[in-house]
Amino acid sequence: MTTTRKTGAGLVLAVLASSQFLMTLDSSVMNVSMATVAADLGTTITGIQTAITLYTLVMATLMITGGKLGTIMGRRRAMGVGMVIYAAGSFTTAIAPNLTVLLIGWSLLEGIGAALIMPAIVALVASNFPPEKRSAAYGLVAAAGAVAVAAGPLIGGAVTTYASWRYVFVGEVVIVLVILAVLRKVNDVAAQPGRIDLFGSLLSVIGLGLFVVGVLRSSEWGWVIAKPGAPSFLNVALTTWFMAVGLLVVYGFLRWEGRLEAAAATNPDALQPLVRPSMLANRQLTGGLSMFFAQFMIQAGAFFAVPLFLSIVLGLNALQTGVRLVPLSIALLITAIGIPKVWPTANPRRVVRIGLLLLIVGIGFLVAGMDPDADAAVLNIPMVLMGLGLGALASQLGAVTVSAVSQKETAEVGGLQNTATNLGASMGTALIGSVLIATLSSVALAGVADSPAISESVKSQISTELVGGVPFISDAQLTTALEQAGVSQADADSITEINANARLEALQVAFALVGLIAIGALFLTARIPTVPPGADSSAGADPKQGAPPSPD
């Protein structure tokens, strides 16, 4: 195995961490700039949300194929090709005159580029650092991605406020050019020439695509019972159908890959599978992938709800909202980098469990601190605790998954790992968002119906117009809407108070659900090894199968 020279380790880490930061930045930047982007392109907020959704969809569906292409063409070359495609997409986005061009540049080209880059990053860390150094390297790379999620609103808010959102994408092109200039300093792994499994790629794209679309549209379609006016089939929401059919296609994909793996075992010239299903019997690998899914589900759910509390309830602007997330970013970076340096022989399972417990405590503070009259500084402690928790997870999980397989399988693991993270992020955003709106709607509509201070005609009007769900809006936005609807001041005051209480309860329920997901993730930690990658196992366990169960 090739490893970096000591003098080049910092440069390699900078290249890979910068690449991870870049891949994660877009969505978090755009989330706070949607209104401005929509106005510039002459489209609607729904149009920009579609672009964000499609970007996630393209990435999630092509990760497995992108990982295999990295094996065939070489990880560094795959990363270079991906960077060129990504830069082309960023430039196209920066000059986009309308939504169609934005979709081509951002959703399609950047998504394809990311699907080549992200699995290659995982494999290149493994090929450039020895096992005992990988936890620190993976920690920094994972922290760069998580910081991009937290820093995105700050960057997006500042650039959009003082210049133009287009400069974000111009900046991405510049960063890509710098990365390409020094990419040759990164050691590669010898390519394994072969053919790509086109039928398997098609199955994985269709299966994952249907599942992700179902998840991402759940807030509009409903989960099982279709929302009023939403499409359904046999009285069941399309979300359920898309997810069910998607999972069945993924099952068919794994069966097909199993046949290819069996054939390749006896005939080296046979078509190689995209993913070896036998790897999924690896206890350590599936443990790491499960934790990645859980981590990104928790992370996405929290980052969906926290900005809503800051911007809608406390009335902060995009820049102020980003500033309040800075403590999380700092704590995350310190922990992700510090644990492997200060505690290189740490028990990975124990670190992951401590990280989850810190997340749970931080989320508990958030639930208890939901107060519309609170100072935004109330978030400092929970943000630090959540940053410490996410950093602890980031410091271990990358090394856990890659060390579970051989060097030649790291690109495949990179595809699986990034598929798990994208699915987790999609599920977290969709589930928390759906629960948030459902709680808000039920509490607000019940409050209006039970209020003696609101006239019957207004109650009837509200029940009719908001049957599909109550929007999560600020008091100022609600006041304006009520004035335009001709509602009396007395009724408007009562409705605004009811909505404020319902909004707060919805956020508390959403954060409580994030906490429950974190508690549930504790049950998945038994598959995380107790011995750090690169350490000798005195228990005699097969390192590819993980350490034997222990009470730790």
pLDDT digit string (tens) for 77-93? 999 999 999 999 999 99
What is the structure's pLDDT at 544? 45
Q: How far apart are CA 311 and CA 102, in angstroms?
A: 26
Mean pLDDT, all residues of the chain: 85
Tokens of 207: 């299966």
**Mean pLDDT of the region 118-132:** 86
pLDDT tier for residue 539 given thresholds of 50, 70 and 90? very low
- φ and ψ at residue 43, rounded to 5 degrees: -125, -165
Give the percent of the chain with pLDDT over 70.
Answer: 93
What is the structure's pLDDT at 409? 80
Q: Taking the domains of the chain in order of start, what are their residue ranges?
A: 1-188, 197-273, 439-506
Nearest to 421 by CA among 276, 299, 331: 299
Tokens of 325: 């997330």
Contact 329, 387 (CB under 8 A): yes
**Mean pLDDT of the region 156-162:** 81
Q: What is the pLDDT of residues 336-379, one digit of tens each?
A: 888 988 888 889 999 999 999 999 999 999 888 777 777 777 88
Q: What is the pTM of this model?
A: 0.85
What is the structure's pLDDT at 549? 46
pLDDT tier for residue 5 given thresholds of 50, 70 and 90? very low
What is the structure's pLDDT at 88? 96
What is the structure's pLDDT at 524? 92
Contact 193, 72 (CB under 8 A): yes
- φ and ψ at residue 344, rounded to 5 degrees: -65, -25
- Biggest CA–CA distance in the chain, Å, is 79
Q: Which residue(s) pair with 232 in the sheet?
A: 237
pLDDT tier for residue 199 given thresholds of 50, 70 and 90? very high
Rg (CA), the chain: 24
What is the structure's pLDDT at 125? 87
Nearest to 135 by CA among 304, 338, 315, 280: 338
Q: What are the CA-CA distances from residue 277 to residues 73, 199, 265, 384 (Å)? A: 22, 16, 13, 39
CATH class label, 1-188? mainly alpha
DSSP label at 104? I
What is the structure's pLDDT at 484? 83
Nearest to 337 by CA among 405, 379, 387, 403: 387
What is the structure's pLDDT at 509? 92
- φ and ψ at residue 123, rounded to 5 degrees: -70, -35
**Mean pLDDT of the region 306-327:** 81
Q: What are the CA-CA distances from residue 214 to residues 86, 105, 237, 240, 282 (Å)? A: 26, 24, 9, 7, 29
Q: Residue 548 pLDDT more than 80?
A: no
The C-alpha torsion from 357 through 360 and 361 to 362, rounded to 10°, is 120
What is the structure's pLDDT at 358? 97
DSSP label at 408? G
Sequence-separated (6 or more) residues with CB below 8 Å from residue 316: 310, 324, 376
Q: What is the pLDDT of residues 25-45, one digit of tens each?
A: 877 777 667 778 888 898 877
Q: Residue 4 pLDDT more than 60?
A: no
What is the structure's pLDDT at 3? 47
What is the structure's pLDDT at 534? 66
Q: Residue 149 pLDDT more than 80?
A: no
Rounded to 5°, the CA angle 431-437-438 comes to: 85
Q: Among 383-392, 428-437, 475-484, 528-537, name the most confident range.
A: 383-392
Sequence-separated (6 or more) residues with CB below 8 Å from residue 302: 363, 386, 511, 514
